[in-house]
Structure 1
């Protein structure tokens, strides 16, 4: 039988003609199976699309709800509503001891070393200190400031809805005989949602702080009004502000103070200026004294605020005379690129640092950062006589907190090596802002140290124990 004539398709493809009925049936079956598969796919996949659409709709609703909640909270803050009640104006410390002169008072605060349990430290106080030379280091005043810096951190719990925590600052300052206090800045800066609001709105360049006053009398009967400023350390979204070093070019300057700390310090100085002006009126500020203290971010902010108060004594609008400005800070980060930090104008600022603590080493000195005033260093691993001093510190910590000291002084070796390696890998602060700089910094951080362990050396309670275990001669000027 002659072969069938090939079709156009067969001719075009060069395929052999197919006339087998069985083959045709198989092809039809395959096409039917493919069509069935498509139909099955269409039947199976619509629910996935519907779920995706639903999830997208829920995300949009959640985003809209969050935006409305943030807007509502901002309006509440503007009106002074929706927060744990606390007057905006300074209020009298009704339970103030009214104590004057020299005395010792018990002051309570919380510490992470005991799971946020309350501990109590005896604080020696003397009103006569504020008639002495502020450039002469006062170890008893430094001890008192170390405790009050920790109290500033503990105060946050009082400003959280539903908390039964006491007002630690109010109780501490009442015990020290202060007359009134303002802790208004803790409002809207202590609730979790408020920290979310600050993160979303980019308003995290702030701190919480207290301002309290006391009329003090000197050995010759002279009087001053002491303004104590105690600044809280990093909290919630404020950790982001710790990374906001700023850019001098934005200010058309060669160097600036760390922007995140600078903004917080400016708020405090403006607050003090308003309050002091209202208090002294036409009497002038000649009998005003200022005391600044803080730990970590609070230390950086206190350091800058004190330096600005020092600067103002050189102009027409001083907050207080230079001889009446005092400042003690603890675990203070590097905070400025200015080359005037060592000027005698700032000799009334003392920064106490733990060699095993990484926080005072950041931002890096090799990037041009430093602190105003004078640095004093606690004993560090490898120093002569360290073992005996550390034994005293451990005993003091156990007596104070009721638990063993958690920090490992040998971490100093790893911290020193880490800072050197980061400086080599990231030569400038501008390099840190690059993807490579971030990767190098994070890589070095997690490969060389145990961050959680190293942070034990940053605890306020560790600094307090060291301060109580040492005398002034055992602190070393930074090299």
Structure 2
């Protein structure tokens, strides 16, 4: 090849580089256009599966009041997408009782409804034939008004990509349903049920968004990723209750919050905010009518008044072999609002008999053997101890050394997939039912 020909023809390496650069630019522009288009669709309410209407009334079920049992369908992580079913109890009288007194039947029903919140996502995926699990469940329990609209634009894979790129992943999907409940003595209330979905898609990144109190010019704050999600729910409730209560006030309103994992953290905070609001002028419901049961609840705040009597209506049910309730670390100053109630754990007196009973319930519910390994409690305890020693503060986690320590300890001391079994909603449900 002559020098002149070499000058006229770019080298193949340069051609490939330029082609790749062009592809990156085109792909970036296309992605930006697609993200903007999707955001516009969301703004206009287009391009998503519409919220389903409530199922038609079933004879002897929808509209029921008082005390009864109902069969509820949902999916389990232990069985993939397969639908399973379990019986739950319901009693309108629960919502005229003291919310600071733990109610195991109500808690067990909330454990199931928290699992149903996770199952609902499939309905909102384009082309899916998944049923609207939450609508069906709440219709069985006699609820008249059901909204799962927040699942729109938060259940498709591309929507999760959009949230990640736009930095709008501090959200959750949740259901709000209302039912007029009646006490044995004839008193009535309007119950608002809020069941919150656990971590989904890019929302996992929000689980890591603990925030910085300095940004708020405060000494301590709630976990930022959970706080923003909880604020959305409270604002939604405030708007609905104000509109529906009108001039009648909120004295006859009751609230029930529940959720699992990220949903538990969000429900815990939302309930605590509703409690706080009873001290001001913008009251969602009387303090004596606010109920909250959460499961596998992460540590979620660094404020110091979480044990105040104001939050005695919040109960967090936790599995000692589950890693999630131990994060963020208590040694970093994190805790939960309300009361922590620990399920039986490996090494506790009488555990073997209780574990056997739980496994029987789990298999009856799911049709498969329970995969959860209670001995993981020892590994979780050791991991928490090691992390607390090697990563003394939350700020240290962001350092390169903190990340290395986290990865090293996780890989050295625990089997992440095995430990995850103890986090399954179906495991929590089986424990709750076996302890009845």
TM-score of the superposition, structure 2-length normalised?
A: 0.97
Question: Structure 1 147/465 Cα, relative in aligned 2: closer, same or farther at 3 Å?
Answer: same
Out of 92, 100, 113, the residue aligned to residue 135 of structure 1 is 100
Residue 171 (structure 2) pairs with residue 209 (structure 1): no
Deviation at 1:359, TM superposition (A): 0.3
The Cα offsets for residues 138-187 of structure 1, whole Å up to 9 and x where unpaired, read as: 01000100000000000000000000000000000000000011111000
1:109 aligns with 74
- Rounded to whole Å, the distance in 1 between the matches of 2:50 and 2:226 is 27
For the Cα contact (< 8 Å) 2:346–2:375, is it kept in 1? Answer: yes
1:329 aligns with 294
Between 443-452 and 199-208, the greater mean CA deviation after superposition: 443-452
Query: Is the partner of 2:64 in helix, strand or coil?
Result: coil
Residue 205 (structure 2) pairs with residue 240 (structure 1): yes
For the Cα contact (< 8 Å) 1:296–1:332, is it kept in 2? Answer: yes
Out of 351, 369, 373, the residue aligned to residue 404 of structure 1 is 369
- Rounded to whole Å, the distance in 2 between the matches of 1:442 and 1:255 is 27
Residue 427 (structure 2) pairs with residue 462 (structure 1): yes
Deviation at 1:93, TM superposition (A): 5.5
For the Cα contact (< 8 Å) 1:208–1:232, is it kept in 2? Answer: yes
Out of 38, 43, 48, the residue aligned to residue 83 of structure 1 is 48
Residue 323 (structure 2) pairs with residue 361 (structure 1): no
Between 71-80 and 110-119, the greater mean CA deviation after superposition: 110-119
Structure 2 residue runs of 5 or longer lacking an equivalent are none
CA RMSD of aligned residues (A): 1.7
Deviation at 1:443, TM superposition (A): 1.3
1:8 aligns with none
For the Cα contact (< 8 Å) 1:156–1:186, is it kept in 2? Answer: yes
For the Cα contact (< 8 Å) 2:54–2:139, is it kept in 1? Answer: no
- Rounded to whole Å, the distance in 2 between the matches of 1:115 and 1:156 is 14
Deviation at 1:48, TM superposition (A): 2.1
1:267 aligns with 232
Between 400-409 and 433-442, the greater mean CA deviation after superposition: 433-442
- Rounded to whole Å, the distance in 1 between the matches of 2:6 and 2:317 is 70
Residue 34 (structure 2) pairs with residue 69 (structure 1): yes
- Rounded to whole Å, the distance in 1 between the matches of 2:133 and 2:288 is 30
2:14 aligns with 49
Deviation at 1:464, TM superposition (A): 0.4
The aligned runs of 1:48-197 (5 Å cut-off) are 48-86=13-51, 94-95=56-57, 97-197=62-162
The Cα offsets for residues 344-376 of structure 1, whole Å up to 9 and x where unpaired, read as: 110000000000000000000000000000000
For the Cα contact (< 8 Å) 2:54–2:146, is it kept in 1? Answer: yes
TM-score of the superposition, structure 1-length normalised?
A: 0.88
1:298 aligns with 263
1:379 aligns with 344
Between 150-159 and 443-452, the greater mean CA deviation after superposition: 443-452
Query: Is the partner of 1:246 in helix, strand or coil?
Result: coil
Deviation at 1:433, TM superposition (A): 1.4
- Rounded to whole Å, the distance in 1 between the matches of 2:56 and 2:186 is 26
Q: Which runs of 4+ in 1 moved over 6 A?
A: 38-45
1:422 aligns with 387
Deviation at 1:446, TM superposition (A): 1.3
Structure 1 residue runs of 5 or longer lacking an equivalent are 1-34, 472-479
Deviation at 1:95, TM superposition (A): 2.8
Residue 258 (structure 2) pairs with residue 289 (structure 1): no
Deviation at 1:43, TM superposition (A): 11
For the Cα contact (< 8 Å) 1:102–1:126, is it kept in 2? Answer: yes
For the Cα contact (< 8 Å) 1:366–1:427, is it kept in 2? Answer: yes
- Rounded to whole Å, the distance in 2 between the matches of 1:415 and 1:44 is 63
For the Cα contact (< 8 Å) 1:335–1:371, is it kept in 2? Answer: yes
- Rounded to whole Å, the distance in 2 between the matches of 1:76 and 1:307 is 34
- Rounded to whole Å, the distance in 1 between the matches of 2:248 and 2:56 is 26
For the Cα contact (< 8 Å) 1:300–1:335, is it kept in 2? Answer: yes
The Cα offsets for residues 81-100 of structure 1, whole Å up to 9 and x where unpaired, read as: 0000127xxx6664361111
What is the number of equivalent residue pairs in this alignment?
Answer: 433
Select the structure of larger CA radius of gyration.
Answer: 1
Deviation at 1:263, TM superposition (A): 0.2
For the Cα contact (< 8 Å) 1:93–1:179, is it kept in 2? Answer: no
